Structure 1
Amino acid sequence: MASIKIENLSKIFGSRQAIEKAKDMLANGKSKEEIVKATGATVGVNNANLDIKEGETFVVMGLSGSGKSTMLRMLNRLIQPTLGTVYVDDQDVTHASSEELQELRRNKVNMVFQNFGLFPHKTILENTEYGLEIKGVDKDKRKKAAQKALDNAGLGAYSDQYPDQLSGGMQQRVGLARALANDAEIILMDEAFSALDPLIRRDMQDELVEMQEKMNKTIVFITHDLDEALRIGDRIALMKDGEVVQIGTGEEILQNPANGYVERFVENVDRSKVLTAEHAMTRPAVVLNSDKEGARMALRRMQQEDYSFIMVTNSQHELQGYVREVDAIRLIQQHDQTERINIDEILRTDMPVVQLDTTINDIFDIINDAFMPVSVVDQDNHLRGMVSPKMLVNSLVSEGDNND
């Protein structure tokens, strides 16, 4: 895997004289419109700063003309930056030699375009192994790598067919498989799904998410579609007029839009499909440590809080289950008053559980059939909170009120 760092990156299009004048105007805080009127030069990207983490799916989005595709092409220097620096890991791409750039593009950074870029006279397998062929990889080795990438993309059975025998969505998957076959650490995707029909596009978004879980690449994905950005992005950079106006997770951007432009951009988003359990949950009022506490303590805490159940964790805060008040009372009545009573025989594990990143929309489907609030755990099964139907509704209502 590899990381990407962008420092004070700008791109100005125009004559040399116009660019020099535009640089001065940028430094003095002039807008894109003011610069083009005064110089004829166009500011594609204006002083962008980004840190893209290893293994992250990072989405750059904005309307047409926002500078997102220009930004992407500066990452592997298909477009030469006017100002600033791009680093891939510790390598300064901006000042790399031709030989270093060639090495970078062949081995570390691959690009997937909107138009797929498949050769019509080559089979799907031959198209997929093309990057490896250019690198001079042994024929048997590159065929094996290409076939594996096609299998991962669900296209293993189509390796001997030609591009015109495949649907647009399948062709796009071939383009993605080709990038993966090259085993590049970074994949740049420029509006890769925008030419596809809506249903195929949604399928491709799901494919990308699933493949990313297996491959764990660093992906920079360009789109003008906010729903697409929210579906696939770990983090999103929103651009306007060449400037990065906000960076954050989808949830962070929805909850705290940086300005009126971002607020208008996200106002029609279905928040239930973006906001998560972490946003809606509250800390459980009472929790029992099963390693240290027994049935008497469980009953005491439930009666103090007027609860009919108590959640149970161990000393590592891992969720074990829950105990009902009625079961604790019955168990205590069966034992001597001085005896410590273990809760193992009354510990129940049929509670509804979701992960921190489960969307509110998905929790609604679970909570409708639930007999108790939903437990929220992290990837290590640590109990982080509880969600009730009222909490779900309140989390969405409060967000709507904030944006009025």
Structure 2
Amino acid sequence: MAAISIRNVDVVFGDRVEKSLALLDKGSSRQEIIEVTGDVVGVDNACIEVQEGEICVLMGLSGSGKSSLLRAVNGLNAVSRGELLVQDGDQMVDIATCDAQKLRHMRTSKISMVFQKFALMPWMSVLDNVAFGLDMQGMGKEARRAKAMEKLEMVGLSEWKDKLPHELSGGMQQRVGLARAFAMDSDILLMDEPFSALDPLIRSQLQDELIELQQRLNKTILFVSHDLDEALKIGTHIAIMESAKIIQHGKPEEIVLNPKTPYVADFVAHTNPLNVLCGRSLMSNTCDLEASGDQLILNQHDNTLIGLDREGEVVSASRQGLSLPLLRWSEGDDIEQLAESLLVIASPDISMRSAIEIRYKTGLPLLLEESGRLVGMLSDKDFYHALLGKHFMVDEA
């Protein structure tokens, strides 16, 4: 079920909104509208659904409209036209048209926001900063401090509860902001480039912590970023924006493999494929392997062969006439224990990073099975294509 449903949403900043919307309908560009009306188009006909429990990343260059759209979800930016529906129990509330009382309810009970600049009260202790939103909800002092302490423990800052914000590092301050948002127990978190002001090492660590927390808490998160590697790492889905428009929305792997425009292709051409691609998207299919009698050829140069049973499951392997041991590997198994000349069989959903590590340890291609049947193989050629950015084609349609 969708937690957020954005339907044909326009956000225009200025005094001549109706005129600007009419110009949008006629196909005028943002610059043309500025010249005619003086208004700024922040969001142009955005359509997107964010499902419960997913992390959807809005990304694009500065000025693309991603923060303008994010801030419309909790009413910080007014919707000029369209529907912006947010789940509230069994009903959907249109943020574009709801009254002030309902909007206040959504902000205090259903939607929390984590800002780039932390937005901590400098005169309050860390614990009181985390408890601040609960105070606004009217929760008693003892109860809210207990709940705030629970969230501080969750982000590893319980020992800093009595410190002031300026006594914490930037990464620690951002953890306080996360704890404050989680303390509200809101179903939806809005995160506006929360890690962009931090050093790369701290940013990567907080990304990992957010992923871990999300696995435990299962919130719906709308996350703004200008960093595609960050988006690919944390996002369940990614929406790329350009000139106030959403130009592509999909799973990270889909964005990398099938960029719909040259603009998106330029973005993905500079990403690290290790963070997003999996075996299924890189593999050579079983039907592409040549046969040698009742066996399939993995490598003609050293005569590496595999044998399948009637159901298509790998049952034997050999190289230069000598038998090769088989090992079925699952994500999370110890790669360091693998040895040379061991033919590994894994799921086609294996990450590219794990697949490359296995190839390095064993010196052999990687076989991929699904439901007990060989579906493909990962060889050096498949890895090289991915690393060189030759794994996608731009959709010209």
Q: CA deviation at 1:400?
A: 6.1
Structure with greater proportional helix content = 1
Larger Rg: 1
Partner of 1:102: 104
Q: Is the 8 A contact 2:59 2:239 kept in 1?
A: yes
**CA–CA distance in 2 between the matches of 1:25 and 1:244?**
19
Which of 147, 155, 162 is residue 145 of structure 1 equivalent to?
147
Partner of 1:389: 380
SS at match of 2:390: helix
The two structures, once aligned, show a CA RMSD in angstroms of 3.1
SS at match of 1:146: helix
**CA–CA distance in 2 between the matches of 1:261 and 1:218?**
28
Partner of 1:333: none
Partner of 1:177: 179
Calculate percent identity across the aligned residue pairs: 39
Change (3 A) 1:25 1:118: same
Q: Is the 8 A contact 1:255 1:399 kept in 2?
A: no
- Equivalences, count: 364
Which of 2, 15, 27 is residue 29 of structure 1 equivalent to?
27
Q: TM-score, normalised by structure 2?
A: 0.82
Change (3 A) 1:370 1:173: same
- Per-residue Cα deviation, 1:125-160 (whole angstroms, up to 9, x for no partner): 221121112112233332332222222212222223
Of stretches 123-132 and 184-193 in structure 1, the one that deviates more from structure 2 is 123-132
- Per-residue Cα deviation, 1:266-287 (whole angstroms, up to 9, x for no partner): 32223343322221134557xx
Structure with greater proportional strand content = 2
Change (3 A) 1:355 1:114: farther
Pairing 1:70–2:61 present: no
Pairing 1:323–2:315 present: yes
**CA–CA distance in 1 between the matches of 2:308 and 2:102?**
57
Tell me which amino acid in the other structure corresponds to 1:366.
I
Structure 1: unaligned runs, 5 residues or longer = 286-300, 327-345
**CA–CA distance in 1 between the matches of 2:134 and 2:81?**
33
Change (3 A) 1:306 1:382: closer
Partner of 1:334: none
Change (3 A) 1:352 1:125: farther
Partner of 2:390: 399
SS at match of 1:220: strand
Q: Is the 8 A contact 2:2 2:49 kept in 1?
A: no
Tell me which amino acid in the other structure corresponds to 1:153.
V
**CA–CA distance in 2 between the matches of 1:384 and 1:183?**
43
Partner of 2:358: 366
Tell me which amino acid in the other structure corresponds to 1:102.
R
Matches within 5 A, 1:1-400: 3-15=3-15, 18-89=16-87, 90-282=92-284, 304-306=294-296, 308-310=305-307, 323-324=315-316, 349=328, 352=344, 356-370=348-362, 372-376=364-368, 385-397=376-388, 399=390
Change (3 A) 1:357 1:111: farther
Q: Is the 8 A contact 1:2 1:185 kept in 2?
A: no
**CA–CA distance in 2 between the matches of 1:141 and 1:232?**
32
Partner of 2:336: none
Structure 2: unaligned runs, 5 residues or longer = 298-304, 319-324, 330-342
Q: CA deviation at 1:265?
A: 2.7
Q: CA deviation at 1:396?
A: 4.5
**CA–CA distance in 1 between the matches of 2:210 and 2:369?**
25
SS at match of 2:156: coil
**CA–CA distance in 1 between the matches of 2:250 and 2:166?**
40
**CA–CA distance in 2 between the matches of 1:302 and 1:273?**
36
**CA–CA distance in 2 between the matches of 1:256 and 1:82?**
32
Tell me which amino acid in the other structure corresponds to 2:71.
R
Tell me which amino acid in the other structure corresponds to 1:281.
M
Q: TM-score, normalised by structure 1?
A: 0.80
Q: Is the 8 A contact 1:2 1:186 kept in 2?
A: no
Q: CA deviation at 1:234?
A: 1.3
